[in-house]
Amino acid sequence: MRLLPRIHTVYVARTVLVTVLLTWAVLVGVDLVVSGLLSEIDNIGEGNYTAATALTYVLYTVPRRAYMMFPTAAVIGALMGLGQLAATSELTALRALGLSRRRISLAAAVPLVALTALMIVNGETLGPWAQRAGDTLKAAARSNDMVVARYSGLWAREGNTFLNAQVGQQRSEGDRQWLELGDVRLFEFDDDGRLVSVARAELAEHTGSGWLLRGVHRTWFEERAVTRTEAMEETWASQLDAASLATAGNLWRPRYQTAADLKRGIEYRERNGLDAAEYEEHYWGRWFYPFNVLALCLAAIPFAFGSLRSGGLGRRLFIGVVFALGFWLLQNQFVRLAGVYRFDFRIAYLIPPLLMMAISFALFRRRSG
């Protein structure tokens, strides 16, 4: 008797998995064409940016688009899968065999948990890496100079010192990798805002614990005199690194960064008295991503036991879209309010799923009664 529920649990999970994957593929495909290929047509012809390069760039964005589209695909696919079972009276048959609504809901949640875990890993590894590689490829092709395209005109702040670099690149030698900036200028101010010195360095290499400046020419501004000094090498103890510089120069958009990069971006901005709200928004969005997906899907599942039984594919699709759009509009509104009124983003991300789960629980108990 124990074997039957397990077989039917696998059947429910497999049905939901198939419909979620199909829905996911359609949504990602539409997004690739509409906001991917079509938006890149206007850029073709700039520098060496060809149609093949545009296609390559769009393919690089697939992991990121899959991550963004998965929550919507999950709720629509779950509703369509369970709705299909409800429409053919298979859910009724499963309940007659002894499967409770809670057991069926948990069976539907199993593939969603597995796919959500996969997307969490993707969002912290492949997605940001591929997006960054695609952006670098695109910028290099359009500007004919990858180094200048990535770091040209970079400005960053570290305490009372402002850095400006005209060119830069990632260097490697064996297992060692480091960031190298060229034609660097450092503007140092005192606490009263008075310019203390201006330094120009031919090269600046990030050594892990700080920066090594090469070919330094520094001008000191004293109360009654201006002096100049030169040095072959000079160290600059700074917490700026490649991720902080990318954050400071908006080279990598916050929504495409990993949680670790976002955390460094928040620390950099707080350390220098800058607004970190945008980075906090996306940072906590990463943490609440799995909770949002599962809460949204579990909140929609009770509809499969009643509202979808007599409805066709169009009705199931409509309810899924309404659920997904309603949830994300509600959450985006709370997140925007958190940014405007400066309250904790964790509260903004927590309220919508809790509200949806409460409504779903009430409906679930009502239908069970």
Residues in CB range of 38: below 8 A, 6 or more apart? none
What pLDDT sits at residue 85?
82
- Paired strand residues for 165: 154, 184
- Only one residue has tokens 């997307």, namely 119
Give the strand order in the sheet containing 211-221.
154-158, 161-173, 176-189, 195-206, 211-221, 226-236
Tokens of 108: 């539907």
CA 288, CA 292: separation in Å to the nearest integer?
Answer: 6
Supply 254's token pair. Answer: 């916050």
Distances (CA, A) of 140 to 30, 49, 127, 129, 147: 27, 9, 20, 16, 8
Sorted by sequence, the CB contacts under 8 Å of residue 138 that are 6+ apart come out as 43, 49, 53, 57
Which 3 state secondary structure label does DSSP give 48? coil
- List the pLDDT tens digit at each of the 369 positions of the chain: 444 447 878 888 999 999 999 999 999 999 999 989 998 988 888 878 899 999 999 999 999 999 999 998 998 888 888 878 877 778 778 777 777 778 888 888 899 999 999 999 999 999 988 988 888 788 777 755 444 445 556 778 888 888 888 766 666 666 776 777 888 999 999 888 899 999 999 988 887 778 889 999 999 998 888 999 999 999 888 877 666 666 555 556 778 888 888 888 888 778 777 788 888 999 999 999 998 888 888 777 776 665 555 555 566 667 767 777 788 888 889 999 998 888 899 999 999 888 888 877 776 666 555
Tokens of 121: 């890993």
* Residue ranges of the chain that CATH labels 2.60.450: 149-257
- Cβ-based neighbours of 172, under 8 Å, separated by 6 or more: 178
Instruction: Give the C-alpha separation, 99 to 4, whole Å.
Output: 10
Those residues with Cβ within 8 angstroms of residue 31's Cβ, 6 or more apart along the chain or in another chain = 65, 68, 69
Q: Which residues 6+ apart lie within 8 Å of 306 measured at CB?
A: 367
* Domain spanning 149-257: CATH 1.20.120: no
Copy the structure tokens of residue 223: 């109360």
Q: Which of 104, 131, 138 is nearest to 256 (CA)?
A: 131
pLDDT at 317: 64
